[in-house]
Structure 1
Amino acid sequence: MQPRRVLRVAASLAYPVVILCVWRWVSPRYVGALLFALLWLQRWAGTGALAASLRKLSRVDWTVAGVLSCASAAVVLTDSEQLMRLYPSLVNLGLLAVFGATLVKGPTMIEKFARISRPDPAPHIIRYTRRVTQIWCVFFAANTVFSVYTALNWSREAWSLYNGAVAYVLCGTLLIGEFAWRKCVMEPRAARQGIA
């Protein structure tokens, strides 16, 4: 695995760990600084040099990155625990925007992933990836709302546990469920019907 990819994976995994560990830390300011650094580290490590990486960001990506940057900067400047608690809901809202934008102007997000292993997918695969992208949008919308609820009503420990662990277990469950559905239902059905 390339060092840059390892760095991106590490930065991605560090985000939930930071949120999960928040309940042990005193100052939201340090969390905000870490979140800001992780956000831009992921973008830099994703596709090469920072300039090249930034050129590949769409308008929606730029907007999401801008909102998250402003949110983390606001946490640093104000040392506000409430702003820090709302950050995960902004991440979910950003993912909803990024996935949702691909439904309007394709290819859909899941189709992009599918094209990595199958560059020229059949029409039924494109329809399926569109449905899966819609399911992810529903998940991100629901998780945004629930994350706001936890930020406003739960203790720091409970908020931290949900947004740093439980939400990722739910995300993983959806990912595994979709994979199992595709392998056990969709692909056998396509094979029986003689669809490539």
Structure 2
Amino acid sequence: MSRLAQAILVLVVTAYPFAVYFGIQYLSLGYLLALLLAVAGLRLLLIFQGKAEGSAGGRISAGALAAILAVLAATSWLRGNSEGLLWYPVLCNLLMLGVFAHSLYFQSQTVIERLARVREPELPSSGVAYTRRVTQVWCGFFVLNGGLAAATALRGDLEMWTLYNGLVSYLLMGLLLAGEWLVRSRVRRDSATS
């Protein structure tokens, strides 16, 4: 599959809250669920054919997210309502928490350390310690973000759910990324001068 098709697929998955909101508002539930099942199925097909980008661990996580989407869409289809769809962001955060926490406690390198070693294969011990701390921060983020996503799902207010999961959570993630980049730049500058 072309990079353009893969990019479109990523965009659809990223825009999930808006797709659900507008799908519920302007499409029949059956059409929305069929679309979501098609997206999940296409993503799983790409992963199983080995055409998805990324590391093996990344493809497994992407496959798990696609499977979660398929299960939630199928469950909503069987139940005849869209309530299950609201839990996708919660389960995404739980999955990411599991991936990051597993790397923190059960693997020799954390997720963040592996990413850092792509640019800097000979990462010093201070860098390893820093990446462990950043992994812990991301674990905290996934707990907080998942909890807030769950609160919006439990509340059942579709507008609030869409606003938080489609905008606010991405803004928070962007702030965390930007803050980490600033801290990392300062840490590197300080270690270079000492």
TM-score by length of 1: 0.79
Match of 2:127 among 102, 120, 125: 125
Q: Which residue of 1 aligns with 2:188?
A: 187
Q: Distance in 1 between matches of 2:9 and 2:52?
A: 19
3-state SS of the aligned residue for 1:121?
A: coil
Q: Which residue of 1 aligns with 2:155?
A: 153
Q: Give, as a single letter, the amino acid of the residue that structure 2 aligns with 1:74.
A: T
The answer to whether the Cα contact below 8 Å between 1:4 and 1:45 also exists between their aligned partners in 2 is no
What is the aligned length? 190
Match of 2:23 among 4, 22, 25: 25
3-state SS of the aligned residue for 2:109?
A: coil
Greater relative contact order, per chain length (Cα 8 Å cut-off, separation 6+): 1
The answer to whether the Cα contact below 8 Å between 1:8 and 1:41 also exists between their aligned partners in 2 is no
Q: Distance in 2 between matches of 1:51 and 1:173?
A: 28
Q: Distance in 1 between matches of 2:53 and 2:191?
A: 39
Give the fraction of aligned pairs with identical amino acids, expressed as a percent. 32
Return closer, same or farther for 1:43/1:127 CA change in 2, 3 Å cut-off: farther
Q: Distance in 2 between matches of 1:60 and 1:13?
A: 17
Return closer, same or farther for 1:16/1:112 CA change in 2, 3 Å cut-off: same
Match of 2:171 among 166, 169, 172: 169
For residues 30-109 of structure 1, the aligned pairs below 5 Å read: 30-39=31-40, 41=42, 49-50=50-51, 66-104=67-105, 105-109=107-111
Q: Distance in 1 between matches of 2:54 and 2:41?
A: 10
Return closer, same or farther for 1:6/1:52 CA change in 2, 3 Å cut-off: closer
Q: CA deviation digits over 1:61-85, x for unaligned, max 9?
A: 7766644442233233334321111
Q: Distance in 2 between matches of 1:51 and 1:167?
A: 25
Match of 1:116 among 93, 115, 118: 118
Return closer, same or farther for 1:136/1:157 CA change in 2, 3 Å cut-off: same
Q: Give, as a single letter, the amino acid of the residue that structure 1 aligns with 2:84.
A: L
1:192: Cα distance to partner?
Answer: 1.5
Q: CA deviation digits over 1:140-194, x for unaligned, max 9?
A: 01111111100111521111111111111111110011001111x201111122x
RMSD: 3.2
Return closer, same or farther for 1:109/1:92 CA change in 2, 3 Å cut-off: same
Return closer, same or farther for 1:6/1:118 CA change in 2, 3 Å cut-off: farther
Q: Distance in 2 between matches of 1:8 and 1:136?
A: 26
